[in-house]
Amino acid sequence: MLKSWKLKEIVLMSLLAVVFGIVYLLFLHVGNIWAGFIGPIAYEWIFGIWFIVSIISMYIIRKPGAAVISETIAAAIEVLLGNAVGPRLILSGVIQGLGAEAVFAATRYKRFDIWILILAGVGSSVFSFAYGYLLGGFTVFSTGYVALMLGIRILSGALLAGVGGKAVADGLLATGSLRGYAISRPKKGDARA
């Protein structure tokens, strides 16, 4: 999968994954505090932050595997830093990355406009929610509550991961630090705005 990748792309993706692995762990604590006040639905509002590195990596590098690999590395970093979920969290990272990757794969890795980035955030939301539903004990909640959780997670994935991921990557691009990466060479019809 990484055969056609340049070393600088692998390094950047890994660096982003490490940074966001730390961010992910910090947001876990934010979620824990907020959940103490409003219950488990608190995590749904911020869930999109846990998908953001897959969107940023793919938007910058634009090669198959960028979403799933970066999300998996970030999850592994989070585990190494002490996330109490442990190694099972790495599987969560794989699933979240696959949700985003599926959207980019559906375009044959040719579209990277805002709507595709938003859909990638939604893809991560849906994949992760299905996984969470199976393993997270969501069946104890009412159908309406579960539907609300899913709706909020989808919104969070679309906005925090999709729109937020684009904003972060575009901000990095504006500094000139991403010259030589695919994001700096938009193709005809590729709207970055």
What ranges do the domains of the chain cover?
7-178
How far apart, in whole angstroms, are the C-alpha atoms of residue 152 and residue 184?
33
CB of 36 within 8 A of CB of 53?
A: no
Computed over every residue of the chain, the mean pLDDT equals: 92
Task: Return the pLDDT at 35.
Answer: 87
What b/e string do you get for 105-131 counting C-beta neighbours within 10 Å, with b at 16 or more?
A: eeeebebbbeebbbbbbbbbbbbbbeb
Structure confidence at residue 149 as a pLDDT band (50, 70, 90): very high
| pLDDT value of position 103 | 98
Mean pLDDT throughout 92-96? Answer: 96
pLDDT of 134 reads: 86
How much is the CA Rg of the chain, to the nearest whole Å?
Answer: 16
Predicted TM-score (pTM) of this structure: 0.92
Q: At CB < 8 A and 24+ separation, what contacts does 72-75 make?
A: 72/17, 72/97, 73/13, 73/14, 73/17, 73/18, 73/21, 74/16, 74/17, 74/18, 74/20, 74/21, 74/24, 75/21, 75/24
pLDDT at 135: 85
